[in-house]
Amino acid sequence: MIFKNLRDDIANVLRLDPAARSSLEVLLCYPGLHAVMFHRLAHWLWQRGWLVLGRFVSAISRMLTGIEIHPGVKIGRRLFIDHGLGVVIGETAEIGDDVTLYQGVTLGGTSLNRGKRHPTLEDDVIVGAGAKVLGAFTVHRGARIGANAVVLQEVPEGVSVAGIPAKPVGERAAQEKTPEFLPYGTPCDETPDPVACQLSVLHGEVARLRARLAALEEERLASSVPAGFDPARRSANE
């Protein structure tokens, strides 16, 4: 019962990772798959009130795989944790189907209450390496989170975000039935860098302020000269 989705998980790894050569290789050598397998057991124990035993299984998984998933996390089908080292998923996080997480991802909480405090990732979300998704909000279906992004608020359906804090950098066509797979969740087309965009705005603002300052200086000098004063006539008289 616990391992009924194992075949789907292996097939999903083979589909998404060109480095995977066979089902046996995936089963034996992929820590992301091992972490998901351990989690299914830990979550089964957690749901039945075996809290300490569930945490113990989770701790064993962390030692063996370098991936920390709290046994309370709700995970859908075909979760792919690629490479995986340093992934941390907090207790009240929820993950839908066909989600991909890369190494160093954190699904963390920002409060000390015992209620919902971790993010929800809907189906087909990709979270790039090193990204931090922090808080009790939803990353909606098909969203893409770029590498090293820090996401602090809800991400709409089909939108790609990047940067610190994360800002939208692109949106897939609404009619697209099969969303493209973006390795590491990072758009690689001509989508502008949000940090570069902000710097460009700041450069424009500085230029506008300089022009305004120059105009004010000219106005101040003009107002300090007496009416009818002629510098050329004053020089001749002297």
φ, ψ dihedrals at 129, nearest 5°: -55, 135
φ, ψ dihedrals at 106, nearest 5°: -125, 125
Residue 178 is predicted with a pLDDT of 44
- Would you say domain 6-191 falls under CATH 2.40.50.100? no
pLDDT digits (tens, 9 = 90+) for 156-200: 999 999 988 888 886 554 444 445 566 655 655 545 556 666 676
C-alpha dihedral, 34 to 35 to 38 to 42, nearest 10°: -170
φ, ψ dihedrals at 37, nearest 5°: -60, -45
Where along the chain do its domains lie? 6-191, 192-222
The pLDDT of 36-61, averaged and rounded, is 94
**Count of CB atoms within 10 A of residue 132's CB?**
20
pLDDT digits (tens, 9 = 90+) for 102-128: 999 999 998 888 889 999 999 999 999
The pairing of beta strand 167-171 with beta strand 159-162:
antiparallel
> In terms of residues, how long is the chain?
238
Report the alpha-carbon distance of residue 154 to residue 125 in Å, rounded. 13
φ, ψ dihedrals at 113, nearest 5°: -70, 160
pTM above 0.75, yes or no: no
